[in-house]
Amino acid sequence: MPSFSDLKRGYRNLWDNAKLTRVDDAKNAANRILSHKARYKAVENQTGVPWFWIGCVHMRESSLDFSGVLHNGEPIIGTNRKTVLVPSGRGPFSSWEDAAIDAIELQRLNNVDEWPIERCLFQFEAYNGWGYFGRVASPYVWAGTNHYTKGKYTRDHHFDPNHVDRQIGCAAIMKALVEADKEVYNYLFGNIEIPKETEDDLVSEFKKVIAGLPADVDICVCVNLKKK
């Protein structure tokens, strides 16, 4: 199984170069996830896994149907039945939240300390399985972006190179969520703040520059600060 440390730079490059090819589908999925934000937040509070990551997986696994478990989408919530598909034998579950927590803990995602965008993408692919790795960009992650064209496992162990995944991928949804909800952007990329000492230095240097200029000179200043 590939390691995050080996792949994180590649995932970041893919993210930075990803363009939405199904904009409306991505926005629609993002808006639907946002409408259930409180439920995903409840699971985040119990597991530490970001609510928006959970929402994207829920979209892929069961199209946001809360009768379907996060493990694989089987509609068994409240039926007193256990999962049959992989992972089999999970449950029964009385609530979607209980099932989601079980799915997350089964994958040990509750042990992940930090969730930058690279980690989110890595865990999306790991959650679905590594069958696409080295073959095509996983549609589970990249469908709806320029990184995916075709190719899909239409059933267990059967890869169809010409089949096009009609679901929207998790990365495409994330692109739309970043635009729709500032909280998602700030969580993934952080707020860019100017340290006080840097701000003071900038002001001091600026004053030195303008002090020596003629009074009739128009001044235009552009400051580019890059977060380390």
DSSP notation for 157-178 = TEEETT----SPPHHHHHHHHH
What's residue 91's pLDDT?
97
User: Does residue 110 lie in a domain region?
Assistant: yes
pLDDT for position 40 = 98
What domain count does the chain have? 1
| pLDDT exceeds cutoff 70 at 204 | no
pLDDT above 90 for 44: yes
Span 78-99, mean pLDDT? Answer: 97
pLDDT of residue 192: 45
Element (H, E) at 23: helix 23-35
Look at residue 128 and tell me whether its pLDDT is greater than 60.
yes
**Closest C-alpha to 51, from 109, 8, 94, 4:** 109
User: Is position 203 within any domain?
Assistant: no
Please report whether residue 75 resides in a domain. yes
Residue 204 covered by a domain:
no
- The whole-angstrom separation of Cα 165 and Cα 144 is 9
Q: How confident is the model at residue 226 (pLDDT cuts 50, 70, 90)?
A: very low
Query: What is the average pLDDT value for the chain, to the nearest integer?
Result: 89
Residue 195 lies in a domain: no
Q: For residue 207, name the pLDDT band (cuts at 50, 70, 90).
A: low
Average pLDDT value for residue range 203-225: 54
Give the phi and the psi of residue 89 in degrees, each rounded to 5.
80, 10
Residues linked to residue 158 through DSSP beta bridges, in sequence order: 155
Measured between alpha carbons, how far is 31 from 14 in angstroms, rounded to an integer?
24
**pLDDT band for position 227 (cuts 50, 70, 90):** very low
The answer to whether position 220 is within a domain reads no
The answer to whether residue 194 is domain-embedded is no
Structural domain range at position 132: 4-189
Q: Within a domain: residue 205?
A: no
Rounded distance between C-alpha atoms, residue 190 and residue 178, angstroms: 12
